A = this chain, B = another copy of it.
Amino acid sequence: MWTIGVADTTFARIDLGGIAASTVEENEEHARVVRYTVPGVKDLPVAAKRLFGQGCDIVIALGMPGKMPIDKQCSHEASTGLIAVQLAEGKHVIEVFVHEDEGADEGELVEIAGERARKHALNALALLRGRTELTAAAGTGRRQGKPDAGPISVVY
């Protein structure tokens, strides 16, 4: 039985946490989801830390940084903090950030967000299964929220 933390924000305009939680539940019966909701992405690192303190094996941290330069700075600070948590705990935090300027319009943003949250929830499950679970896909240009880039045919 795995315990999977799902940390999300009230700042996001799409229910990323709900999508991740339901993806986990639909794809792994031996998983328990623990939710944690914070105001914004900069609050996610300590939420992840606290989720590990409650026994989580992995955390999925989801947020939607805005489109202004200051928002990029915030997402950078959040990402740096999420990496620090992982190193302190020795456990993965899968970051699922959807930047508001990624989509041409709201419809596209919703598509990107949904697909990214779902695929990264599956990545979290894969990482729990073992360090080589994704090795067959190493170097194959996988994307989350955009079409896969695919592998470059090695021509040499």
Number of interface residues of A (CB under 8 A): 82
B-binding residues in A (CB < 8 A): 8-18, 34-39, 42-43, 45-47, 49-51, 53, 69-70, 72-88, 90-95, 99, 106-107, 109-111, 114, 120, 123, 127, 131-135, 137-144, 149-156
Q: Which residues of B contact A106 (CB under 8 A)?
A: 152-153, 155
> How many copies of this chain are found per oligomer?
5
In the bound complex, what is the Cα–Cα distance between A84 and B88 (angstroms)?
10
Pairwise interchain contact B84-A84, C-beta atoms closer than 8 A:
yes
A89 closest partner in B (C-beta): B46
Which of these, B37, B94, B131, B139, contacts A12 with CB under 8 Å?
B139
Q: Which residues of B contact A142 (CB under 8 A)?
A: 10-11, 39
